[in-house]
A and B are shown apart, each in its own frame.
Chain A
Amino acid sequence: EADIYQTPRYLVIGTGKKITLECSQTMGHDKMYWYQQDPGMELHLIHYSYGVNSTEKGDLSSESTVSRIRTEHFPLTLESARPSHTSQYLCASSLADYSYEQYFGPGTRLTVT
């Protein structure tokens, strides 16, 4: 079982609210990732980080932002939630580069009404 945690697991929120999805890992991994996944569809990378103070946008355009102030913590923030943000958000981490295993958290299921 991977030591990567996400909170909350489920969130239902109204349009226009600001939300932060939390992700923490205790494996000391430098690289962390955020993916978005809709039902029956593939995962899409929306943000990644090489390490502290390093963040980059992924392949799928997202209105969310991320920060990496501590190695173990990689929160994702939506300033103003919209129904189009309804999705499953998965956080992952890896020890180093692409040849290494990515470990996924349990995900946050976000519903914006």
Chain B
Amino acid sequence: KNQVEQSPQSLIILEGKNCTLQCNYTVSPFSNLRWYKQDTGRGPVSLTIMTFSENTKSNGRYTATLDADTKQSSLHITASQLSDSASYICVVSDRGSTLGRLYFGRGTQLTVWP
């Protein structure tokens, strides 16, 4: 069964600290993996997209890694800011259909305290 599991479910850190969010997936055949940031009451906004051949990708203070062999990804946030408080969603796309089915994780709720 194709699934995306994220950990931790929630995380509280102090402003300025770093953190790492985890994503494990069983989706096959794999097409790409995306990390989205979703602010409360808003739609998700893309942070990174990685294909099979990419094992790291950065977007400012956000760095995503992908290990396609172990089917694991992480999102590292450096020097956290209050505006980083949001839900971070891992999404994996398969290539088994023309639509391109997306499998969503439940997200990690990050809270950054001053």
Contacts and interface: CB of A to CB of B under 8 A. Distances in A.
Contact of A98 (B41, B44, B94): B94
A107 B41 contact: yes
Q: Number of contact residues on A: which range applies?
A: 20 to 34
Contact of A99 (B41, B45, B100, B105): B100
A76 to B, nearest CB: 15
Interface string A64-108: 000000000000000000000000001110000111011111110
Interface of A: 2, 4, 6, 40-45, 48, 90-92, 97-99, 101-107, 109
Contacts of B106: 40-42
A88 B100 CA distance: 23
Contacts of A91: 43
B17 interface: no
A45 B102 contact: yes
Contact of B31 (A6, A48, A98, A104): A98
Given A90-B44, A98-B32, A99-B32, 13 more contacts: A40-B106, A40-B107, A40-B109, A42-B4, A43-B89, A44-B104, A48-B99, A90-B43, A99-B93, A104-B36, A104-B43, A107-B42, A107-B43
B46 A105 contact: no
A56 to B, nearest CB: 8
Given A41-B106, A98-B95, A98-B99, A106 B46 contact: no
B49 interface: yes
B100 A109 contact: no
Given A40-B106, A42-B107, A92-B43, A98 B101 contact: yes
